[in-house]
Amino acid sequence: MSGKRWWRPATGTLRETLRPQGDVRARNASAWLPHVTRLRSDMRRFEDDDEVDMVVVGCGAGGATFTQRLAHAGWRVVCLEAGPFWDPEHDWVSDEAGSRHLYWNEPRVIGGSHPVPLGANNSGRGVGGSMVHFAGYTPRFHPSDFRTRSQDGVGADWPIRYEQLRPYYERLERELPVAGQYWPWGDPHPHPHAPHPVGGNGEVMLEGCARLGIRARVGPVAIANGRFGNRPHCIYRGFCLQGCKVDAKASPLITHVPDAITHGAEIRDGAMATRVVMDAAGRRATGVAYVREGRERVQRARAVAVAGYSIETPRLLLNSAGPGHPHGLANGHDLVGRYVMVQGAPQTAGRFPDEIRMYKAPPPEVSSEEFYETDPAKPYRRGFSIQTVSPLPITWAEHVAAQGHWGADLRSRMRDYVHWATLGALCEFLPQPDNRVTLADETDRLGLPVARFDHSQCANDDMLMEAAQKVMEDILRAAGAGELMTIGRYAHLVGGCRMGRNPEEGVVDSDLRTFAVPNLFITDGSVLPTQGSANPALTIMALADRAADRLVHGRVPEAPARKAARR
């Protein structure tokens, strides 16, 4: 490989077609509305004593999608968010250290044989949730992810099949929108927008995979390729993980919250939920208690949806113990907080004689799911995916220091930053009942018990990590890398309130309604029974979309009726 690596357009295996935008605008006009910071000033505001149709806890991938869908259908909805209502222009900066306020930094306790650090890589704080600082990578789960127990003898079978989620995947891909080449894995499908151009890091992976006969594709990323409504084109500055200041990358803050506001929803920021309020008999939810500006309040509602993700959702339910639910809300079978999963996410970097400048593009440029499914010839079940990643200088310094380089050696290697390319894997760790969230003895600033997350790896998890590292090393060497280095990491939390066919199997049913309380729903990533080797954001949104669709159209028994006509 000679000459400087810099930039070249991606080429597709099939002609990409841009789908009409009319159906998107009719369903979700967020991209064509004034900026969310302008809409916020005229947002409808409810009183605590107003009995709204639904109060949603958490405004991330699941909570914001659920809120927007119900509001669009005419429901009176309040969405409580513990963090702030971000203004991208003023609150986000193109700087790693200056972006740490985007994460959930409240105290938590971790344990187990393989403790998982919580923060930047798996939690969010503020309107938009962790999608504000996610990399933008939005693949679908595979059909096999929904039946790992019956097909591979591990994990769990979902109470729904992939085919039931497909239409929600498709319409969310058009709303975000998603750009990428034709996807040959899982359920093969095109993407609404053509792929983005590829930078040096993507070029390395494409070349290495081509030499090894490994299929690789550009995308899919929830980053508009060209203008989309009022949203501008990506400027390829590489600060996706710090919040996209230009609004090219999708996050609920700009993709679903604006439309929710214009249809009468209230997004109430700075509102930390403390418990779900139940009636005297403990049979139905009547609202949510929360603290805002130092005062505890209760928002009354005819139904409640919790979308605080895999740590805070179990914590809230466990802190909501009361009559009929002595061990925590919806926890009659000791399943709340269990089966929390992370993905093994090792990153392997290789040094090249040419300048790569891996930071000059969105981090997930090129990816491969060639190793996603169970290979009968391997000693492990399930698999992993591989994608380009682009650690910025502070994170890169942590990687280099973890290899034992300090002082003048570390400074020298940091000056070498532009010559390195980095790949990352997502390994499907298996659900285990003892990987769980419980309440710790410690309390937070509000006096509430904080979450404790215990996590341990099994032998299958260990084998997947080793296999993924070897494949990444092979790809980098095939592309011409010299020195290699790998750092072990974790990414993406799911599980903790899994879906099941009955109360002995799960906390919620296929419509995301809790078995124990007929008007209590959970609409976040905690409901996933397995996690696949894909980033979970799109699947979380699709599940919330499906649950709202079924609720609005009366396909959920005992669902609260719509109170108001569409405004």
Nearest to 519 by CA among 333, 356, 304: 304
- In Å, how far are 80, 140, 329, 511, 542 from 165, measured between CA atoms? 27, 10, 28, 12, 7
One-character DSSP codes across 363-419: S--EEE-TT-S--TTSSSSS-EEEEEE---HHHHHHHHHHTT--HHHHHHHHHTGGG
The strand pairing partners of 170, in sequence order, are: none
Give the containing element (helix H, strand E) for 297. Answer: strand 295-300
Rounded to whole angstroms, how far apart are CA atoms 440 and 452? 5
Phi, psi of 194 (to 5 degrees): -65, 160
Both structure tokens of 365: 């440029």
Rounded to whole angstroms, how far apart are CA atoms 510 and 520? 13
For the chain, the farthest-separated pair of C-alpha atoms sits apart, in whole angstroms, at 74
Cis bond leading into 177, ω under 30°? yes
| pLDDT tens digit sequence for 181-238 | 999 999 999 999 999 999 999 999 999 999 999 999 998 999 988 999 999 999 888 8
Rounded to an integer, the average pLDDT of 159-185 is: 97
Residue that has been written with the tokens 């591979």 in this structure = 152
SS3 259: helix
- Average of per-residue pLDDT values in the chain: 92
Q: What does the DSSP 8-state code read for residue 343?
A: E
> Phi-psi region for residue 513, left (φ > 0), alpha (ψ -120 to 50) or beta?
beta
| pLDDT tens digit sequence for 341-371 | 999 999 999 999 999 999 988 888 999 999 9
Give the global pTM: 0.94
Domain 34-553 has CATH 3.50.50.60: yes
Nearest to 257 by CA among 58, 94, 525, 101: 58
Both structure tokens of 317: 């339910």
> Phi-psi region for residue 370, left (φ > 0), alpha (ψ -120 to 50) or beta?
alpha
Q: What does the DSSP 8-state code read for residue 100?
A: G
| pLDDT tens digit sequence for 52-96 | 999 999 999 999 999 999 999 999 999 999 999 999 988 988 888
Rounded to an integer, the average pLDDT of 454-465 is: 97
Do residues 221 and 240 touch, judged by C-beta distance below 8 A? no
180 Cβ contact list (under 8 Å, min separation 6): 191, 193, 195, 217, 218, 219, 220, 221
Predicted local confidence at residue 121, as pLDDT: 67
Q: What angle do CA 150, 151, 152 make, to 5 degrees?
A: 105
- Please give the single-letter amino acid code of residue 356: I
- State yes or no: pLDDT of 159 exceeds 50: yes
40 Cβ contact list (under 8 Å, min separation 6): 85, 261, 267
Lowest mean pLDDT among 92-106, 182-196, 256-270, 279-293: 92-106
What residues does each domain of the chain span?
34-553
The strand pairing partners of 267, in sequence order, are: 79
Rounded to whole angstroms, how far apart are CA atoms 201 and 238? 12
Residue that has been written with the tokens 């089966």 in this structure = 339
Confidence of residue 101 (pLDDT cuts 50, 70, 90): confident
| pLDDT tens digit sequence for 39-52 | 999 999 999 999 99
- State yes or no: pLDDT of 485 exceeds 80: yes
Do residues 313 and 65 touch, judged by C-beta distance below 8 A? no
Q: What angle do CA 500, 501, 505 make, to 5 degrees?
A: 50
- State yes or no: pLDDT of 20 exceeds 60: no
Confidence of residue 14 (pLDDT cuts 50, 70, 90): very low
- In Å, how far are 184, 285, 483 from 472, measured between CA atoms? 20, 49, 13
Q: What does the DSSP 8-state code read for residue 176?
A: T
The number of angstroms, rounded, from the C-alpha of 470 to the middle of its chain's C-alpha atoms is 26
| Exposure on the CB side of residue 304, measured as CA atoms within 13 A | 29
Nearest to 186 by CA among 463, 539, 465: 539
Give the containing element (helix H, strand E) for 72. Answer: helix 61-72
Nearest to 142 by CA among 110, 183, 101: 183
Which ranges in 132-199 belong to alpha helices (H)? 148-152, 162-175
Determine how β-strand 54-57 pairs with β-strand 420-427. unpaired
Predicted local confidence at residue 150, as pLDDT: 97
Nearest to 384 by CA among 494, 471, 470, 464: 464
Confidence of residue 565 (pLDDT cuts 50, 70, 90): very low
